[in-house]
Structure 1
Amino acid sequence: MSGDVLKVLAAGDHFVRPGAVAEAIRAELGGRASVRELTGPWPIEPFGPVAEVHEASGDEDELIAALDGAEVAVTQMAPFTERVLAAAPALRLVVVTRGGPVNVNLAAAEARGVEVRSTPGRNAPAAAELAVALTLGALRRLAQVDATMRAGEWRSDLYAYDACGGELSGAEVGVVGFGAIGRRVAAVFEALGARVLVHDPFAAPPPSMEQVKLPDLLARSRVVSLHARLTPETRHMIGASELALMPRDAVLVNTARGALVDTEALTEALTSGRLAGAALDVYDPEPLPADHPLRALPNVLLTPHLAGATRQTADRAVAMAAREVAAYYAATRQGRDEGRDESRDQGRDREGRTA
């Protein structure tokens, strides 16, 4: 074997398993990689801030010890804080198996010459499917109907015109954010017969869909599904004034980030009947407190931030991360390996000629 052995830390967890990461890297690089495994506590324990990074999970000291000598790290939630990066002088690449590296101090990584990559799109199919499922559940009021069945009731009166839900077919629906997830959701909505309105300043929908300003989208849509990134500009982009624009029979679906919505304003709109319903997978704050009033509202369908929770998401993340590691190896070792192999071949030729 020629070239240096690449030392990798697979800092996985109970979703993106370190053993799966190690296996995928070995499939790409064989014996050219030496992989150490570390299992973090997520999602058995919730993620949150760790030192100065957000949405992380795990112990800095444990990570520092595991990083000893590692040139590459693959992680889902491990906290790559300034302190951790400072204690890992050999580190040159961190691959985060998420849409973005929110658990990495990017400024500290750049200052130390550590490249940071992520796996955008790995959960797009899963997140899009849950958004559609929540939309249908909210429109058909499945949370309320399920509760009546569990209470031993048979509410045939819910067939009444004023009590029953609505359809996507024939309705105008709004998709806010037209990235990898938003595009999939919009395509399903359209396939089910909806007229899709899109708001995204950075991406244009196909001709069959209509690009509109946010106030116009909110005023016209029977369903509004959020898929925007959370930035200082989009924080609380849906507040009291925006909710007031929506039709009274509309529903809001959020599978993106909780802080896109003013939670207090949404709770008030749902409580007062100003908004017919909501389906939420993300919250602000998160986790949603046990006594939060949203939990008691019958017109809200709630899931605990599970949009990306499929085995296929984890498998895609692992495969994408392994390819990033292989690409890094090729960029930093391949030319050197080929040069060494060529030198050895030339040496053998010379030996053969003089024998």
Structure 2
Amino acid sequence: MTRVLAAGDGFVLPALFDEALRGEPDVGDLDIAHLTAGWPTEPFGPVGPEGARVEEASGTEDDLVAALDGARVCLTQMAPFTSRVFDAAPDLQMVAVSRGGPVNVDLAAADRAGVAVAQAPGRNAAAAAEYAVGMTLAALRRIPLADRELRDGTWRGDLYAYDEAGLELDGATVGLVGYGAIGRLVARVLRAFGATVLVADPYTDEATASTDGVRLAELDELLRSSSVVSLHARLSDETRGMIGARELDLLPEGAVLVNSARGGLLDSGVMDSGRLPEALRSGRLGGLALDVYDVEPPPDDWPLHHAPNVVATPHLAGATKQTAHRAASIAAGEVARFLRGEPLWHPANEVARAHTEGVAS
């Protein structure tokens, strides 16, 4: 009997992990316990003491340690796997994180504890891509503004005036900063609208770009040439704050900026200095669509609360039922492969890679 912890939350429910794992073949008898964290009604955030914390986690170390008692494997989305948790869970051998990146897991601590960690890349690619395109259309055509004004009793016929009219994707040049699974899906949809798509991504080659019908460009060239720029890069030391005052100045007059990837890609200095709100008020920036923020939720004194031409949503790009089922299924598949002694498809740490290489040889 294998003891398993399904550590879900209000989105990827423990029951989804349970159902997905029980549907896998040849995993033996399972004793699956459930733990539910507070996200998404409670914001995620760092968990653990300074110097030993993990990011974007939900729940407490104490609750997780108690629930892991005797567990050999765990499926989770946001449970805080800190070094303290690994030290307190001697039976644990494998953690499957149902996210594209296991930022809620201290991978070095997992390696020290001999615990394999797997991840779930692409789980929300379709949802996030559709949302990015929707945010782009909303900003270009000022759909939220028109909806809000009409329901408040104001008929904004002036939005049909030339100076107030929106822009089309057909014939537009759209720049995608980052070209992973989400970016590629966004490009496919944009090309169907008739847009020309530029891509800035050091990990994408000319052959891939040519096959997809997009053109590679350096970031500065992309910014100068695009009437819409959508961010899809992963947040790292290299990409943090990559769009700042200098980059905003490169955009054409009236361009639209969309960020549904990570808040940290946008330099907080352009917000704190008032540079971004002023660019929106002056029309230098035609629109801004945000689904992610440095601080979630934004504080009461957030400079963009009353800025014009802003579309803002509360980190919802991946929020589809299909994403939740897909996330649970990918994580369950990794656990099943581990239990069957098969190579993992999505190893995230050295122990997981060693397991995969060992059973494949």
TM-score, normalised by the number of residues in structure 2:
0.88
Equivalent of 2:285, from 275, 282, 306?
275
* CA shift digits 1:143-202 (9 cap, x unpaired): 221222122111212111111100000011101111000000011111100010110000
1:17 alignment partner AA: L
In the TM superposition, structure 1's runs of 4+ consecutive aligned residues that sit over 4 Å from their partners are none
2:277 alignment partner AA: T
Distance in 2 of aligned mates of 1:288 and 1:108:
32
3-state DSSP of counterpart to 2:91: coil
* CA shift digits 1:270-326 (9 cap, x unpaired): 234321111000011222113312121121000100110000000001111111111
Distance in 2 of aligned mates of 1:237 and 1:152:
41
Equivalent of 2:261, from 242, 252, 256?
256
Is structure 2 residue 199 aligned with structure 1 residue 202? no
Superposition pairs of residues 42-121 of structure 1, within 5 angstroms: 42-51=39-48, 52-121=53-122
Aligned residues: 328
2:40 alignment partner AA: P
Aligned to 1:338: none
Contact 1:144/1:298 (<8 A) preserved: no
Distance in 1 of aligned mates of 2:80 and 2:278:
36
Distance in 1 of aligned mates of 2:3 and 2:160:
63
Distance in 2 of aligned mates of 1:67 and 1:181:
34
Distance in 1 of aligned mates of 2:18 and 2:162:
56
Across the aligned residues of Structure 1 and Structure 2, the Cα RMSD in angstroms comes to 1.3
Aligned to 1:25: 21
1:34 alignment partner AA: D
Is structure 2 residue 244 aligned with structure 1 residue 239? yes
Aligned to 1:219: 224
1:254 alignment partner AA: N
Superposition pairs of residues 126-141 of structure 1, within 5 angstroms: 126-141=127-142
Instruction: Answer with 13-22 or 264-273: which moved more.
Output: 264-273
- Cα distance, 1:118 vs. partner? 0.7
Contact 1:176/1:199 (<8 A) preserved: yes
* CA shift digits 1:199-250 (9 cap, x unpaired): 0000134322110000000001010000001111111110000000001111
1:257 alignment partner AA: R
2:129 alignment partner AA: A
Is structure 2 residue 323 aligned with structure 1 residue 313? yes
Is structure 2 residue 37 aligned with structure 1 residue 40? yes
TM-score, normalised by the number of residues in structure 1:
0.90
Distance in 1 of aligned mates of 2:304 and 2:95:
38
Distance in 1 of aligned mates of 2:178 and 2:7:
31
- Cα distance, 1:59 vs. partner? 1.3
Percentage of matched positions with identical amino acids: 60
Larger helix fraction of residues: 1
